[in-house]
Amino acid sequence: MTTIYDIAKRSGYSITTVSKVLNNYKNVSEKAKRAVLEAVEELGYTPNSSARTLATNKSWMIGVVFAEHLGVGIAHPFFSEVIEGFKKHVELYNYDLLFVSRHMGMQRETYKHLKHRGVDGVIVVQSFGDDFIGQEESPIPAVYIDLPLETPGSVYSDNRHGAQLAVDYLVELGHRKIAHIMGEQTSFAGIERAKGFKKAMANHGLDLPEHYLVNGGFFSYEGGREAMIRLLALQDRPTAVVVAGDNMALGAMKVIKEAGLSVPGDISLIGFDDIAIAKHVDPPLTTIRQDKELIGRQAAIMLLNQINGDDSGMTKVVPVQLIKRESCRPI
């Protein structure tokens, strides 16, 4: 059985340094960290969890809470990729994940359950403005995805800039009548993307009729369908639509085709997220890519820092990128 002494011998570093790396201490050089983690991988080292808990006074467990309104949790492609990025990083430090039932949400029972299980920290995925109920009593280190908080911490994409990139691209293609299928306006991402869209339209001096702004709800396929039906019913139909989420964009695309119209022949579409299926639909969807792996990794780094007593850098904004495919055309 591989021990910490074997790791020290293989890496060339002292047992103290190896212990610091395995416990994610800050005062270790990147060179030493790389060497120790490489030795861990090569030797297949797995620490004894009971001994480790007694020695460090940690459970080596992180709670994962979903507070999203679709009720699908990790089945959602955005969330699954974020959690995978998070998981890959915390596994380097031998943490396990405890997934809380999505039906518990952000209730006091959730907090009590996590306290009872003794988790060292919590990652909250897609919160809609709610903080942990009970968190004020005895705070657990926590990081939120898609909610801008000063405390306990948050990681989110540059949603506003992403919507601006979408409008800029459509204007570059000659579009002037551009509508927006918004995400739910109680969600941070939905609000920010709508703000970015409106600002970009104003920057280009373009008219924005009120009926060109349609709420598609909580980023679902069905919400995109319903919103697109409303836009197609307009007498002055838009030539392009910026959609606040790829799932909604796929629903909108289906409605356009069912109406005997084509994408991008009659209406150009831009989504947001770049979920895996976006490049496989017909036509492949132009979209704003969120770096989901980086969001997960940044959240992991921030949470591990909190667990180890370092609360610096409480907010991380992750850049986005326009991915040009075939759902838009010049006019």
pLDDT: which is higher, 232 or 135: 232
Helix, strand, coil fractions of the chain, as percent rounded to 5: 45, 15, 40
- Across all residues in the chain, what is the average pLDDT? 87
List, by residue range, all CATH 3.40.50.2300 domains of the chain. 58-155+292-318, 159-291
What residue spans in the chain does CATH classification 1.10.260.40 cover? Answer: 4-46
Length of the chain in residues, anyone? 331
Give residue 188's pLDDT.
86
Least confident of 109-123, 139-153, 180-194: 139-153
What is the reported pLDDT for 260?
Answer: 98
Structurally, what CATH architecture does the domain formed by 4-46 represent? Orthogonal Bundle (1.10)
Pairing mode, strands 96-99 and 213-215: unpaired
User: Going by CATH, does the domain composed of 58-155+292-318 fall within 1.10.510.10?
Assistant: no
Average pLDDT over residues 64-70: 73
Express each pLDDT in 93-138 by its tens digit: 889 999 886 555 556 677 778 888 889 999 988 655 555 555 555 5
pLDDT at res. 114: 86
- Helix (H) / strand (E) element for 36: namely helix 30-43
| The pLDDT of residue 171 is above 90 | yes
pTM above 0.85, yes or no: no
Smallest CA-to-CA distance from 110 within 128, 86, 134 is with: 134
- The widest CA-to-CA distance across the chain, in whole angstroms, is 75
Instruction: State the CATH class of domain 159-291.
Output: alpha beta
What is the edge-to-edge ordering of all strands in the sheet holding 320-323? 213-215, 178-182, 240-243, 268-273, 286-290, 320-323
